[in-house]
């Protein structure tokens, strides 16, 4: 171990000790961006980037669990990504399935699928659902896996679900419109029943949400990291947590 490694270790430990657990987020969302660029920089194929990204998710989840985070929501495959070549989409799905298998086998965290499964290949969607269902009784941290997810798609699906639900009760569109409240829509989101994310992290230097949790992130704090996702380190998460803990959350007030 070199001097730089020792200095890094000392800095990391000091940073961790400086964090007040009472000021840390309960729910962390992550846009895990930069897998393909990471692979390209290393002269590897995209598949290697997706696998490295999946491996990093296991580390990231463990770091969050160690910090007392209760929910982690990870955006792995967007509705826009589904327009990529089939071979590339299949590589992403294979990495996601492998990740979910490892989490389910470990038995410490519960899994939930977030997104429109009808937009995914049927066999892959069924396998991922079985893996998530197998963790239903786990009491540990919840890990939300966003696949086939888009913010606009979620809001469209939520409104469709709400209208169909109300129609089944014999209500007209006029009646629904006259009584519609914000909470009524929230009850039909993919994340219904869960608290909104306190902190959303995006890697790779991009400073936009790209549709991630559009409804739920209205009061979230954002942290943008220049690091490509597979290269994201524990210290990078600690820096995000330090930034979050230093902010005064006003919730629009």
Closest CA to 152 of 82, 81, 212, 221: 212
Task: Please name which of 75, 127, 136 lies closest in space to residue 101, comparing C-alpha atoms.
Answer: 127
Dihedral angle sign, alpha carbons of residues 8, 14, 15, 21: positive
Name the catalytic one among 33, 196, 198, 236.
33
Encoded tokens for 5: 């490694």
Tell me whether residue 65 is one of the annotated catalytic residues. Answer: no
Catalytic-role residue among 20, 55, 80, 81? 81
Q: Is 33 a catalytic residue?
A: yes
Give 207's DSSP letter.
-
d(CA 184, CA 28): 24
Element at 36 (helix H, strand E): helix 35-41
Is residue 184 within 8 A of residue 153, CB to CB? The reply is no
Residues acting as catalytic residues: 33, 81
């Amino acid at each position: 171990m070199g001097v730089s490694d020792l200095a890094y270790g000392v800095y990391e430990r000091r940073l961790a000790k400086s964090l007040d657990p009472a000021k840390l987020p309960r729910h962390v969302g992550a846009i895990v961006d930069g897998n393909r660029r990471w692979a390209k920089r290393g002269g590897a194929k995209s598949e290697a980037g997706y696998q490295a990204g999946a491996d990093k998710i296991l580390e990231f989840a463990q770091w969050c669990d160690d910090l007392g985070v209760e929910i982690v929501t990870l955006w792995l495959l967007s509705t826009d990504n589904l327009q990529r070549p089939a071979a590339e989409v299949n590589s992403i799905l294979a990495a996601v399935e492998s990740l979910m298998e490892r989490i389910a086998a470990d038995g410490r965290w519960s899994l939930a699928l977030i997104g429109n499964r009808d937009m995914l290949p049927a066999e892959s969607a069924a396998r991922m659902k079985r893996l998530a269902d197998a963790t239903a009784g786990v009491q540990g941290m919840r890990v939300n896996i966003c696949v086939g997810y888009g913010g606009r798609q979620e809001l469209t699906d939520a409104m469709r679900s709400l209208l169909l639900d109300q129609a089944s009760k014999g209500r007209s569109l006029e009646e629904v419109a006259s009584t519609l409240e914000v909470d009524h829509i929230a009850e039909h989101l993919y994340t219904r029943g869960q608290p909104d994310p306190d902190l959303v992290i995006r890697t790779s230097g991009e400073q936009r949400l790209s549709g991630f949790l559009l409804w739920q992130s209205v009061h979230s704090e954002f942290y943008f990291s220049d690091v490509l996702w597979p290269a994201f380190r524990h210290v990078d998460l600690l820096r995000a947590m330090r930034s979050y803990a230093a902010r005064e959350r006003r919730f629009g007030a």
